[in-house]
Each structure stands twice: as C-alpha cells, then as structure tokens.
Structure 1
Amino acid sequence: MHQGNQTTISEFLLLGLSNQAEHQRLLFVLFLGMYLVTVVGNGLIILAIGLDSCLHTPMYLFLANLSFADISSISTSVPKMLVNIQTKSQSISYENCITQMYFSIVFVVIDNFLLGVMAYDRFVAICHPLNYMTIMQPRPCILLTVVPWVLSNIVALTHTLLLLRLWFCESNTLSHFFCDLALLLKLSCSDTMINELVLFIVGLSVITFPFALILFSYICIIRAVLRISSTEGKRKAFSTCASHLTVVLLFYGTIVGVYFFPSSTHPDDKDKIGAVLFTVVTPMMNPFIYSLRNKDMKGALRKLINRKSFFSLMP
C-alpha cells in the first residue's frame, strides 16, 4: 500500500449520530444494549446449531453463517462508536477507517448472498423433497457457503483498491458513525467517476441477483404449496419458510423504505437511518425471528439453556 503518497491526512473524524452532548449517554446505553443483544442472540443460535445434531442440516448451516455475519457486521461499527462516545473522541486513523469500510461492505454483501442461498435451500426442500438429500449433499452445501464469502470479499476488495488510489486533501470529517464508502468518495479531491460507476454496477448486481433468486424460489414454492391438497400440509410447508421470508422482508423492506421513498429529512440523516437499520437493527432482530418462529430452533435453544443451567449447578 502507498497511501502515504496518495493522501495528506492521517485520520478521519466520525461525527456520529448526533452532535448534541446530551444525546451521547442515551446513544451509548441504547447501542451498547443492542450490540449485546445481537452478539448474545446470534451467538446462542450458533451454539445451538453446533451442539444439537438434529440441526446439522443445510438450512441451519446457512443460518449459522448468517448469524456469524450478523455478529461481525455490527462489530465493525458499533464498538468504535461506543469507544468514541466514551472517550469523547471522534478520530479514526486512515488505516482503521479503510479496514472498517472493507469489512462493513463484506458483511452487508454476505447477508444479501446468504438470503439468496437460504431461499434456494427452501425451494429444493419444498419443490423437490424426494431429491433434497441428493441435491444438498455436503460438497454443494460447502460450495454454497464458501462462494458467497469469496464473492463478498472480492466486492469489498474491489472498492477498497479503487479507493486507495484516491487523494484526500483537507477535509476529513465524516457525518456518520462509521467509515462509509459513499461518504469517503464525497470527501476525496480526486476524480471518483470510476469508483462511482463500479459502485453502481456492482451494487446493483449484488442486490439484483440474490433478490431474483429469492423471487424465483418463492414463486416456485407458492405454486408447489398451492398444489398440496391438505390444509395441514400447506401450513407445514409455509411454516418452514416463515422465518426466512420474514428476514427477507425486513432486509429488502429496509432497502425500499430508506432508498426508494422520498424523505423530508436531510439526506445525511437518511443515510444514517439506513446504516443503523442494516448494521444494527436487522442483525439484532434475526435471532428473535428465527427462534420465535422455528420450533426446532426453540427446542435447541431450550436444551442449550438447560445444559448451561445444569453446568452452572455442578461443583
């Protein structure tokens, strides 16, 4: 890396969600609580899946990856924000800012890809139940897990390498609580046309392809379920998709609500709202959605909690 020849600044200033001193304590308590809930909730899901052999299936393998991505996503931004509030410092080094941006891209993109993979898994389970174990063998499942991670890192690396070629002059203030790529491009005093073009093309592809897979999968699922004669059969089929469909609606509903509907608020406020929803609220909600709407997951979590309680009573 040759950032020393490309930038005249050594740090950025993160203004956070509010510049009002009286709001800082409330923000600290609120985001610390959400962070702990997210880490504990998703951590319990990963532990439950790992310890319960009944959940060693493709669907729960993908769910464990989603939970890990959610923990990682919120951990890229919130801890630094909490430290800055506590220390009353707004600074983040150039290197740390670029690193934070890289991983924030990785984990938002991986969430998107994993939702597409999970939709495909449900499509195979409902539309081709007799061939499910043949199609979803260990090797294809590992491939469906690894490829999204590789693609997400390629996307993040592409944006990062393009950013490293830019100059940053006098301005180093980011009106955000973490280093966001779009805001960094606005700060640069270089020509960012290539960066913005790649951001548009790659961003559109990252959203479109998984969403198209999800849409196709659920169209096929609905058609298959409607052909089931018994009401109980239809209910069971839909119940296996309920948790995933709820997460999909939350994820893409956030995108539509924040980025496609006009708002009377300042654009910076809208970007912050979208970032909070993506990086904090959605990862926090996912464990509740999967644990409350999934009987197998509730049973595994109950066994995990009972096991912890049992161990705590041992001398």
Structure 2
Amino acid sequence: MNELSAPKKDLTIKDFTSDQEVRWCPGCGDYAILKCMQRTLPEMGVTRENTVFVSGIGCSSRFPYYMDTYGFHTIHGRAPAVATGLKLANPELDVWVVTGDGDGLSIGGNHLMHALRRDVDLNILLFNNKIYGLTKGQYSPTSDLGTRSPSTPQGSVDPALNPISFALGSGAHFVARTVDTAQKHMPGVFKRAHAFKGASFVEILQNCIVYNDSAWQGITEKSVAADKQLLLEHGQKMLFGAEGNKGIRFNPQAFALEVVVVGENGITEDDILTHDETNLQLARMLGELGGNPNEPMAMGVLYARQADHSYTDAVIGQMQAVKGNTTLKKMMYGGQTWQVSETITS
C-alpha cells in the first residue's frame, strides 16, 4: 500500500506542533493561544497541507514557525494583504492571519480594514496586549490613556482604540472576543470563526508579562472574572456575575445598555436582553461595554451574519470567466495604449 492510498490517520496536537524552539518570554500569553490552536485544529478536521498561517511583525507574528503547517512570516502590517492574495490564488486553503494590536491596528490598519470590508474568507486573530512588545514596550493604538512607556514617558495622550468597534465599523460580518487563559472558551470561538464563510475577526486579550503585565487583570483575574466577563450565547439571556443574577438591559432613555440586578427594583429576567448575534446595532453596543468599571466586557461571538456577497467567489468567478479567452499580449496591449508614429525634435 503506497502513501497516497493509505488511510488518513486522526491528527493530534503533535501533528500541528513544529520542531522549532518557541521563543517567547516565559509566562507570555502567546503560549496559551498557541497550544489552544494546536489542540483545536485536529478537532476541526483540517489537514496540515491545506492550512496556512500568515503573520506580520511582532511577538505574535512568530506564530507560523511553531505550527507544523504552511506559513508566511511577512512584513509589518501587511499580513492581511498577503493572506488575501494567497486565498484568491488557492481558495481551497484554510488561511489564518495572526497579528497584534500594533501590527494590525497601526501600520496595518488600512490592510486589516479592507480585508474585513471585502469579507475575504480569512480567519483573523488579533492578539491584544495593549503594548508593543517586540520593540521593547512602546505604547500601541490600544494602550490605555496615560500609559507610560519609552515612547510616552509622560503618559500617552491618545484615547485607546477598541478593536471590536474597529472591526464592526470596517464592515466585518463575524466579530468575537476571547482571552488567552480561557482554555475552555477559546476553542469554541476558534471553531466558530473557522466555520464562518467570509472574514472572521477574533480579538484575543493577551498578557505581556514583561512590558505590560496584568493589563487585563481587572477582567481576567479569577476573583473578578464572573463579574467582569459577559459570556455571550446566541438566543440566551445576557446574565453574568458570581451569583448569576446580574444582567444587561436596554435603557431606551439613554439609548444604551446598562447593568441591572435581577430581584432589585422590580427587575426580572424578562427585563434582561437575549443575545442576538445577527443584530449589528446590538453588537456595536456590546463592543463598547467594559469602558465603565461597573460594566463587564462581552466575550464570545458578538456578531455573526453571513454576507449576501462573497468577494472571494466574485474574484474567482471573474478569473474563470476570462480564462482561455485572452492572452498576455492582449492584456498588455488592450485598453488605453498608444503608439508614437514620428520623432519630435526641439
């Protein structure tokens, strides 16, 4: 029996783990994300030869080296552009983009925006540690106002950019959020993102233990996580809290979401909103939660709505339509070309 005719074995985490030494700082949140991805890919039923990881520049962008799949380590901010070309060249590939808050939202903001609005069939993971780690701790687009760093010794005067709001504002059709330490939550988000046809955007709250340690502690610490994280499920009430009695209600006077407690001031579960991941306006409001200390941060799939138009299919369709009906010479000389018939002298 030759290799091609041999039955395919069930892949495991070892099959997606490369032989490269992982070179992140001890305790970096990237380790947890990497292990989760290596463990989850076999559960998706994917193959190594059809899986590609594309990254830009930054700590997170070393990701392709550690995956035993195909991969591209590209240039700063341009991973979405390279990934778009790759997907159009071979639409059968599963293409993952790994980027960071600096790589993806600063120099790469333009490329990320257009990949999302075009709804290119990519799985985009944005690691958000609110700092530039690889270049030694400068503030990033998502850094908190007042962040002291080598580039802002007196404190940043920039308001922080919200990746979820950015993605939704760019026209993304799948937007989700998870945490590097949430090993039970993260796999489900990865699976949903992978199953979505179109551009899926996942923000992963990630800790940089060296340059911005405990940046997300107020949300991820075990003692506060239940009260600070709103775990979303489509069709389920938005309840949270250590006792499960806190919830999210829509306040029509303020036209905003607010935190209420079931059993207080006549509040019942009927007053609590039910999550509808196909509602864009609701997703936008959920994406802004967490800015107030009394509010939780929304986790899980905030928005998922299949687009009517597929950019990938449309481009492939155009290429197939002209295939065989033209030549390179026709393309080079067709359209607006001209010929100089005589020499003009001064």
Please confirm whether the aligned pair reaches a TM-score higher than 0.5, indicating the same fold: no
More helix per residue: 1
TM-score calculated relative to the size of structure 2: 0.23
Q: Which has the higher contact order (CA 8 A, sep 6+)?
A: 1
